[in-house]
Chain A
């Protein structure tokens, strides 16, 4: 508890997310082995690919009897948003040399969201690394557990872990909703996501939302007199 108190708010947020998300690795490990992948193939996906959506897409295609090529395509398409995240983190942290390679590997939904929700550069950095490295450690640990135990632990949804993910993202969004414009953008992007969901492959609706928000930001401000 003392160590927990020694952490800054961003560090605590990052670690909370790391545990909640990491636990979900159990379901990935179990499903991956059930899909016919070997233990080490499952671990390779969690350690090397390390982006949950793409990993689930890869084993999903394999489960459905799809070829390696189509599994590759689905996983790659789903990972495109990570390039957008990389641009954001690069702007916030300006990592150099090998730090940049490490930062790239742990650039995922959770680390980007944690960093972006902080107000100061120091907290952004702490939030990014706490969530990024934390999720990496827990995700791989629990992937191994899931792959080894399989059905014993059962469905992680039974423990409400998907509800934890929802709560984590809305809690990260919440403090940013000050003023009319942020709320309007959030609502517009939420609706764009819901509308795009049935028509686009998984992962793409998030890019649609990002495009809507970017277009909104690039639009000339309506009240120039305010400046």
Chain B
């Protein structure tokens, strides 16, 4: 039993249209020092939000599991000036090891 191709393709079309909308707004709306400041802060806000979602979201619940350990390990690595790829590997390894140890 498979799902309806019609709805599936419509959802794909909608996803692309949504992405494209941002590109069709005039770029000059986003120009100027005030908007530069806003977009800079929005970037920080989005990244902070993505960190929280990826570290603590379990569906619509907040959960404390191995990912929180990965977050702490990544922050420690950043404090020690480990390069980007190293931080990513450390994050993966700490989450995997914590799970292996039966935590989260």
Partner-B contacts on A (CB < 8 A): 9, 12-13, 16-17, 20, 35-38, 41, 44-45, 48-51, 54, 58, 62, 67-69, 71-72, 75-76, 79-91, 94-95, 100-101, 103-105, 107, 109, 112-113, 116-117, 157-174, 176-177, 181-182, 185-190, 192-194, 197-202, 205-206, 208-210, 212-214, 216-218
Residues on the A chain within 8 Å of B51, using CB: 166, 169-170, 173, 190
Question: A83 contacts which of B9, B21, B59, B93 (Cβ < 8 Å)?
Answer: B21
- A109 in contact with B50 given A87-B25, A185-B41 (CB within 8 Å): yes
Q: A54 to B92, Cβ gap below 8 A?
A: no
Cβ distance B88 to chain A, nearest Cβ, rounded Å: 5
CB <8 Å contact, A164 and B88: yes
Chain A residues, CB < 8 A from B60: 197-202
Q: Is the interface of B mostly helix, strand, loop or mixed?
A: helix
Contact A105 B16 (CB under 8 A): yes
Residues of A near B55 (CB, < 8 A) are 166
Report B's interface with A, CB cutoff 8 A: 1-16, 18-23, 25, 27, 30-31, 34-35, 37-57, 59-62, 66-67, 69-71, 73-75, 77-78, 84-85, 87-97, 99
CB pair A104 B42 closer than 8 Å: no
User: A20-B88, A168-B91, A205-B53 given as contacts; is B23 within 8 A of A100 (CB)?
Assistant: yes
Asked, given contacts A79-B15, A95-B23, A218-B38, whether A167 binds B87 with beta carbons under 8 Å apart, the answer is yes
How many residue pairs between the two chains, A and B, have CB atoms under 8 Å in the bound complex?
314
- In the assembled complex, which residues on chain A have CB atoms less than 8 Å from the CB atom of B62? 194, 197-198
**Given A167-B73, A185-B44, A12-B85 contact (CB < 8 Å):** yes
Q: Is the CB of B12 within 8 A of A49?
A: yes
A-B interface, 4 closest residue pairs, ranked by CB to CB distance from nearest: A86-B22, A167-B91, A163-B95, A213-B45
Chain B minimum-CB-distance residue to A198: B60
